Structure 1
Amino acid sequence: MNNKNIFQKIIHNEVLAYKVAEDSDHLAFLDIYPIKIGHTLVIPKKSNRDKIFSLSEEEFISIMFFTRKVAIGIEKIIPCNRIGIFVMGFEIPHVHIHLIPMDKESDGNFYRKRMDLSSKNFQILSEKIKRSIQNM
């Protein structure tokens, strides 16, 4: 029986993800059901914790540094007033940070209808964001 959650499966390339950034400790990929175009998830690869403040101080600082880089890359590609950062993590027991391009506060409403993008649109968007981050 496989007890891996969806993020662990993404980390191990068992499930398709539209990755935008990766290093030895973190992974960033587009949310498959975004609330806004460019909605990205950032996760630690090695942590089995589900609460961000359960991370060690070093892990916390490291994921925030990585998250900042990803957010700046997204903002260069997606026209928006700012990138919102959300940490909730009730659905999947694995630390994860949501980065959402926003023009107004209501853009961060997780109860709104999620978008449905084609795999081609996800591929194009992920490549643009990835290049933006790599060129920093």
Structure 2
Amino acid sequence: MIAEDGEHVAFLDRWPTLPGKVLVAPKQHVEHVVRDLDETAYMQLMLFVRRVALAMEQVFRTERTYLYSLGSQQGNAHLHWHVAGLPPGIPYERQQFHALMAEHGVINAPPEEMAAVAVRLREALALEP
């Protein structure tokens, strides 16, 4: 777990394709990113996503930050955002979708390394206003 407030949670991705990749989700079951949230709930979620992304950028000094929401009614119907930071120096042909696809490999970090990443992200979040 990286962050939590009354409405949202953020946690490390179990199968990250980029260092420090985080998932952010509303605590309430929501399936559709646009039509299931009123404007206020959507803006609160996006502000939470932004806070997490800023912390991730601070910890990993990313070249670019990817924010995206995927899912499927057949397999993963709960709304969630992916927050993935692209490290500097990745060749263009390995950026964007390529960098996000598990088919191109995932980071198999040991649990203690993932726990250390979580601590660093929580510390960075504590510095956010």
Please give the range of the TM-score, normalised by the shorter of the 2 chains: 0.7 to 0.9
Deviation per residue, 1:61-85 (Å, 9 max, x gap) = 1100000000000000013202100
Q: Is the 8 A contact 1:102 1:108 kept in 2?
A: no
TM-score by length of 2: 0.84
AA at the equivalent of 2:55: G
Aligned equivalent of 2:79: 95
- The structural deviation recorded for 1:59 is 1.2
AA at the equivalent of 1:36: L
AA at the equivalent of 1:93: A
Which secondary structure state, in structure 1, belongs to the residue aligned with residue 123 of structure 2? helix
Which secondary structure state, in structure 1, belongs to the residue aligned with residue 2 of structure 2? strand
Unaligned runs of 5+ in 2: 88-94
Match for residue 41 of structure 1 among 23, 43, 46 = 23
Q: Does structure 1 residue 66 correspond to structure 2 residue 58?
A: no
Alignment root-mean-square deviation, CA: 1.4
Which secondary structure state, in structure 2, belongs to the residue aligned with residue 131 of structure 1? helix
Alpha-carbon distance in 1 for matches of 2:102, 2:80: 15
Detail structure 1 runs of 4+ shifted over 6 Å in the superposition.
none
Q: Is the 8 A contact 1:21 1:130 kept in 2?
A: yes
Which secondary structure state, in structure 2, belongs to the residue aligned with residue 52 of structure 1? coil
List aligned pairs for 1:2-81, cutoff 5 A. Answer: 19-46=1-28, 48-53=29-34, 54-81=36-63
Unaligned runs of 5+ in 1: 1-18
Alpha-carbon distance in 1 for matches of 2:106, 2:32: 24
Q: Is the 8 A contact 1:80 1:101 kept in 2?
A: yes
